[in-house]
Each structure stands twice: as structure tokens, then as C-alpha cells.
A and B are shown apart, each in its own frame.
Chain A
Amino acid sequence: MTRWRAAALVLAAIVLAGAGLVAWLNVRGEDPLTGDAGSFVATPEQVAQGAYLARAGNCAACHTDRGGAAFAGGKGIATPFGTLYASNLTPDAKTGIGAWSAAQFWRAMHNGRSADGHLLYPAFPYPNFTEITRADSDALFAWLRSQVPVTQVNRPHDLRFPYSLQASLAVWRALFFTPGVYEPQVERSAQWNRGAYLVRSLGHCAACHSPRNAFGATRDSLELSGGLIPLQNWYAPSLASGAEAGVADWSSREVADLLKTGLTSRGAALGPMAEVVFRSTQHLTDPDIAAMAEFLKSLPQAPAHRGTPAKLDKDVQAHGETLYKDHCATCHGARGEGGAGPQGVVYVPLAGNRKVLLETPANFIHIVVNGGFPPTTAGNPRPYGMPPFGPSLKDEEIAVLATWVRNAWGNAAPPVSALDVLEAR
């Protein structure tokens, strides 16, 4: 009997110690909460800076619902664990952050805890935002507080058990989240450090461009090496690979063109990246874009490997070529060389196009099936678009066409199956 009791006591002690450790890991590195909502006085410079930073962080992408009041939240973010609903960031005292102090806002950004102390889900990308400076956090707070308050009660998240429990989230945070500070690398230029800071913290590029583990945590060791965006059928290609979206061999000008205008002769921003350009990067200053380019160009690149060409049988070869001539050649050229108008590139080349050649064909299929427009930007205010071929071509035809394009004019990439197409529809 006493043996059982001793064992139970030991077990209880282990559980308690574990819970204590998790609890401690969840609040480590927190600054004391000083001041209240009334004690924060924003300067006009802070408000202006905050407006700019809100663009850089693309806060509106999640916190403004389609057709909803700006920054009043309510937009659903679908994840493999359930749907999370973004919160109201307007300065409404009851339903927004009107009663928050600057210190509480900083704790949310830096430590991922809300004003009332509850743990925030990392769909709010505080694993990236944690590296923001306190000054930038305060500027964002100043700007948010200058917005029109909107009364809109936050919609509760709709997560499956056990992800719905704060205790589960605490364990997740103990395992995968450490509050961090951006440490400038002294051997790098100020411009490089500015770029790294923007990409890693506010830009939260890793939220899409880094792979995630089974628990939805991004893996730091594989920074920006590409990730499938959950439930969207878009693959955010690796920024650390010349075969995907790495820009080591691009000029800074080309990187800037992509981020500012959404269109370069190497490719166009479509799908989720079109949104990033539209809402965020096109609004950034030239020096900040140049800084991001310098950092991105410096990312260590995975060795480029030439894709394995698919062996096309005669029928596929002939059918694919016919489909291409009938549907694609008018715009993309007989040899996949693309098309240009008076202002430069309009239809991107398909020969050597990395988006076409990605190992994961999801993006290419997505674009053939659904078409799309690059974003309207100051540099490309009247974009041309790609028609959707989903309505007019069968899955098998799209598979043959895609396979053919992936292996024409020196292209080499694995074949696409009708099942791949079906999955992307």
C-alpha cells in the first residue's frame, strides 16, 4: 500500500514539476506590465511609423475581414487544427484593444500572451513578431489606437480537441516557442540587417515560406526553405534554393520589381503572394525593399539540381503539343518565350520558369486551372491575366499539357497526373 502511495506521490511530483516547467517556459522573458491604457501618449511620428509598419506586417490580411470594418477582425484562418478567427484590433474599449496598455500590446507581440493573460495561438505569427523592437511595437500600438473604434465582439476559435485547450497550447509553446530579440550581425551591413529584421520579424515571410512540422511549428533550421500552405493548395517556394524562389542570382532591381510591382520577366506574383504584394510590399520604401533584397540574396542556397525529365510517350508528346498550340502559344509564345507589350513583359516565359518546374506541381496546376491576375500596383496598375482553363479542359488534358510544358524547350520536371489536377481543383 505504501509502495503504491509512494509511486503515486512520485508520479504526482513529476506531473507537477512538468506542469511547472511548462508554465515557467510560457512566461519566461516577460517584461513587467507597467502603465495602463491611459498612460500611453503617442507622438505623431509614432502614429505615422505605425501605419507603415502595419503594412510591412500585413496586419490587415488577417485582421480585416472581406468587406468588414478595417482591423475589426473576424476573418477565419483555416488550419489543419481548426479555424481561428482574427481578433478586433480597433481601439474599442470593450471588444477591441482600447483598454490595453502599450506593455500588454508588447507582451502580445513579443511573448504571445493577450492582455488578460491567455495564451495566443501562433496563427498570429508571434514566433516571428517576437523579434520586433519595442519601439516598433509601440509605434504599431500608437497607430492602432488612432483608428476608429469598432464594436465587434471577437468570434471564438473553432478548434478541434485537444488543440482547443490552453494547456495544449502551453505545451506547444514550451516545445516550439522562445521569445527572441533581433540580434544585428555586426559583420553584415546595416542594410542587410534591416532586411533580415523586416523579413524575419514583421514580414513574417517564414509563416508561409518555411516548412512546418506535424504540430504546425515552423522549423528554424530550415529557414525559408519552402512550405505547403495548409489547406490552400499553394506551395510557398523555397527562398533558399536557386531551383525554387531563391534570388541569389537575381539583381536587386529584379527582386525589387517583384516586391513592388508584382511582375518581372522571371515570373509574376499570383495567389497568396499577389496578396502580399498588393497589401504589403508594394507600399514599402525603396530602401526597405533594397534591404530585404540584400538579405534574401544572401540566404545560403541549396545546391541546384537539374530536374529529372519525364519520359513522355508519343501520344502524350503529340497531345501536349497540340493543347499548347491551341491554348497557350498565342500569349506564351511558340517556344515558351513569353510575350511583351510596349511596357515590357506581360506574359511570363514558360521555358526555364521555376514555378512551372517546381517538384511540387501544385502552383502550376493551380494557375492553369484557375488562372489569375497579378495584383494592381503603382508599377503595374492595369495587369493582364491568365484565363482559367479548369472550365474548358478535362483533368487528363491539363495533366498532359502540364507534363508537356514541364518537359519542352529544355525544361525537365516530373510528370503531372490527372489526380494531381483533381487535388488542385
Chain B
Amino acid sequence: MLRIVLAAFAAMAMSAAVAGAPPVVPDTMAQRMQPCTACHGKEGRPTQLGFFPRIAGKPAGYLYNQLDNFRSGRRAYPTMTYFVEQMSDDYLREIAGYFASLDLPYAPPQAVDAPRDEIRRGEALVRQGDAAHGIPACVQCHGAAMTGVLPAIPGLLGLPRGYLVEQFGAWRTGQRKALAPDCMARIATALTPSDIAAVATWLSAQPASLPPAAADTLARPLPLACGSVSP
């Protein structure tokens, strides 16, 4: 219903522009967040450029942490930093809540073009981890359905392979950080480059089952201490 109202508003604004009357700007978050759609897609779904992550439906706590990470230099992407550096905590929380509230279907997954061994290794790491190397399974924290866990653990589906690989690389080099202790940096460092490729390949090829909402509970304790997730 909300979407229909928004669409009607947008159509009105559009027709006003065509007719020559001054546009009446809708007093909505959707309108305020227009700049985000240039990369993250309309309604927070990624564009065809194949790099930008889906933000719609991610847990609000996770999204807020990332906005704050960009503002505080723990993550580095010039456009994101430029957008959020003069924003209050209140507004960042509202923005995070807005995108978290969007319940939208997922785009079809990316086509897999990888050797069978790589795919198998990827699935094994995601589902079982690699105890010998101290690597927990992704599903232990990100939820059995990999759709994230409230309030601050992100889902892993609908993310482009290139984005996933780059995040692991950024954790390894310290380009991407989280509040200490930085569990993902530890995991990324323990993974080999071919492990990272395998995980990214497998994850990016998974279809999202509906509903894609984040789980609200998780077996505790977590396998690793994470500063961005309250214990």
C-alpha cells in the first residue's frame, strides 16, 4: 500500500513537472534517499553494475554500523563518506531503519561459472566452516538461511561476487574495519585467497528464499567475539 502511495506521489510530481507547476516534493524517506538509489538501485536493490551491495531489508543495526563506519573512517568508499560525514546519529539511525524496513523481492542470483571443486569448497566453508584453520561456518552467525540476524548481523544473499571478494580483501588489508574485536578481519585473514573466491562464488549464486527477513534469534555464544554485535 505504502509503495502505491509513493508511486502515486512520484507520478504527481512528475506530471507537475511536465505541466510546468512547481514540483511538490513528497515528505518521505524514499524521496530523501534518492541519492542512494543511484548505486544501490531503486528501493535499495542493487543496480546492474554488479558491484554495489543490496541494502534493502538488511538489519537496521548492521546498516547503522556501516553508515557510522563510513563516517568514522573504518570503511573507505569516497562517495559514502562524502554523503554521511555531515549527518547526525539520529539521521543515520533513521536512514538505517528506512532501508531495513523495505521488504522487496530479491533479484535472481548471478550465474555461476566456476569449477565444481570451487563450488563445493565454498558451500563447505559457508555451512561447516574449517575447524582445522579456526574458521567458523558463515551460517553460525549469519543465520541458517543466511538472511542475517537481528539486530546487527547482515544477510549474505543478493550480494554481487565482486563486492564479496572486495570486502574480504579490505578486511585483510585493514581497509575495512569494524568495532573491535573485529571478527570478520580475523576470519578474512584465516581464509586463503582461493577460499575467499570459493565462498564468494557460492554465496553469490544462491537464490534467496522468501521471505528474506533476518532471523531474530541465534544460538549463543557466537563462535568469535564481534565488537559490532552485542554479546
Q: Which residues of A contact B (CB under 8 A)?
A: 65-68, 274-275, 277-278, 329-335, 337-343, 346-347, 370-376, 381-389, 391-392
Contacts and interface: CB of A to CB of B under 8 A. Distances in A.
Interface residues of B, number: 37
B107 interface: no
A385 B90 contact: no
A391 B39 contact: yes
Interface stretch (B79-87, B154-162, B193-201): B79-87
Interface of B is mostly: helix
B35 A347 contact: no
A334 B20 CA distance: 6
Contact of B87 (A331, A370, A373): A373
B52 to A, nearest CB: 9
B88 interface: yes
B25 interface: yes
B35 A330 contact: no
Contact of B86 (A339, A375, A387, A388): A375
B13 A330 contact: yes
Given A67-B74, A339-B13, A392-B38, 8 more contacts: A338-B22, A340-B22, A341-B24, A343-B27, A371-B83, A373-B86, A383-B32, A391-B49
Interface of B: 10, 13-14, 17-20, 22-27, 31-35, 37-39, 49, 71-74, 79, 81-83, 85-88, 90-91, 94
A367 to B, nearest CB: 11
Contacts, number: 105
28 contacts: A66-B71, A66-B72, A66-B85, A67-B71, A68-B73, A275-B86, A329-B18, A330-B23, A334-B20, A339-B13, A339-B23, A339-B25, A340-B22, A346-B25, A347-B25, A370-B82, A371-B38, A372-B82, A375-B86, A375-B87, A381-B90, A383-B32, A384-B34, A385-B35, A386-B35, A387-B35, A388-B35, A389-B38
Contacts of A386: 35
Nearest to A269: B86
A333 B35 CA distance: 17
Contacts of A337: 22
A275 B83 CA distance: 11
B35 A371 contact: yes
Contacts of A339: 13, 22-25
Given A67-B73, A391-B49, A385 B83 contact: yes
Q: Of B10, B22, B49, B94, which is in contact with the most chain A CB atoms at under 10 Å from its CB?
A: B22
A338 B24 CA distance: 9
Shortest 7 CB-CB contacts between residues of A and residues of B: A67-B72, A67-B73, A375-B86, A66-B73, A339-B23, A278-B86, A385-B35
Contacts of B26: 341
B19 to A, nearest CB: 8
A382 B34 contact: no
A373 B73 contact: no
Nearest to B83: A373
Given A329-B17, A340-B25, A341-B26, A385 B34 contact: yes
Contact of A376 (B31, B33, B86): B86
B38 A385 contact: no
A329 to B, nearest CB: 5
Nearest to B84: A373
A382 B32 contact: yes
